[in-house]
Structure 1
Amino acid sequence: MFNLICCGEHKHLTSDVPENNLDMDSYLRRVFILVLLTALMHLVSSDLRGYYFNAYFPETWEEADQYCRTHFSGLLTVRDAEHEATLSGDGWVGLRRTDGVWTWAGGEPLGVLRWEQNDEPKDDKHCAKWKPDGLKSEDCDNDKKFFCADNNLVLISEEKTWEEALQHCRDLPSSWGRCHDLATLETHDDHVFAKEEAKKAATDEVWTGLRYLSSRWFWVGDVDKAIHHALPACPDQNNLCGAMSGSSLDVQTRNCTEKKNFFCQRRACDYSG
């Protein structure tokens, strides 16, 4: 039998846990396989907030914004210096001046970011493009390459148990070489982003891919990713799955049979596994 527990017997992991030992052994094997394995593929991790750079069809700022909203998550918001370092290219981002105030297309304020030159932004230029040297103001009607935000976190508004949510994510159709799994929240920025998205949920908390099994906590999408939380080494028998809310950056341990909305994460598929 798989070593699922460390402190006494957990007899109420889900509502359909079998009573006898033979059925329990079969049940634990099913859960173990469901959580740790995917058929004919394994998933390669990717950031929750990525971007797509359109270098082939320059557009005005308005046209680029419409394209990004239609096909992705909108024009890109550059969050901080760490995010700046990941960008490669030169084109429109989601920054525009309206009524004298620079704001991002998603509604966020400008923040502390560097402009290309000391005399930026120009008084008569109301849209911004990103360059390796910093932001540069431009005429919004100019045709430019552009950056779209390509977010990989998907909030599913259906209410499911943790295991049902895991299966739902993995059953979502692949597209453009990307598959799905319950979300891994690896970095501080991942947690900030997930917290904001969780505020849109219809349930107070949202399932993530955090799970306790075989005497350890891990992310189902990438079992080798570090967990930056103070989690109980021997959790309560009813709290073996991780959920988060829109009010905290921490993932909380919850009963896996509770029904919640959940986060699926798009990842690059690797079918060679």
Structure 2
Amino acid sequence: MNNLWLKEYIAWIGLHRDQRNQWKWTDGSLDSWNNWAVNEPNPSDDCAVVNYNNKTFYGASCDGYSFFICENYFTSISNKYTFIPESKTWNEAQRYCQNKMRFLADFNYFNPSTVVDQDFPVWIGLRRDGGSWSWSSGFSDYKSWNPGEPSNSGDCVSITSLTKRMTTQNCDAHYPFICMWENLFLVKENKSWEEALEYCRGLTSTTNLRFDLPSVEPGEQHMYVMTKIIEANSDEVWTGLRFLAGEWLWVNGEKVLYAGLPDYPALEQHCGAISKSISDSLEARDCLERKNFLCYIF
């Protein structure tokens, strides 16, 4: 979590296109700053945001959701702009600022130092379901809650972009979010080893990815797999380990690095499984036993 860089954001400003196809600020003045990014704005965009990374303006649909910056004309320069970490449409943001005796920020004299680091909410894959917490994929012990959290304000969880503190939110709120590439997943169906192999290899995707029972290496990879199987419905989970022609093999061709596997397993124990309760080994099991299993993408 600490390695995630989450500082990037966009925020509504008071720049919009009027009925004459002119870009104006909320005070009615024409855009004279011309701080647009390359090839911006698009003809279909009628409102503008400022981007944290390059401090330039981008066109956007006014019906989209974004954070926004309010401006108070009647305060000192140091307190002139206020970042609001709530996602709203451009019109909603404009009304919010007006109700607070402010306006959406007019940057006719834009200073890039105005767009600074902000601590805003970012969706992660943790939510409350029936009173218990679950991750959208796997399991994590990360519990860096904000003071007073978790609360009953919502059933979905965000983290703050700078401090990485967790907060419960209404699941309908609009926030930036983090996606992760996941090539290993748990199938909560009890199948024999052969059935599990057929299941994984029978999966298809629109990008021509292939699926198989996985190989697992001792150490960090094994520990990562343990976070995946914690929610399995069976005590053990099938892997791609199989005893064939007098030796243990991974079905994907990887070398078996585990010590402690029997050199001459009993005839009915020629398949390998990982136990939820044993953190550093693989177990030889009867291939006809029915267990949950892992598939991976390659």
TM-score normalised by the chain length of structure 2: 0.44
* Structure number having the greater helix percentage: 1
Say which structure, 1 or 2, has more relative contact order (CA 8 Å, 6+ apart). 1
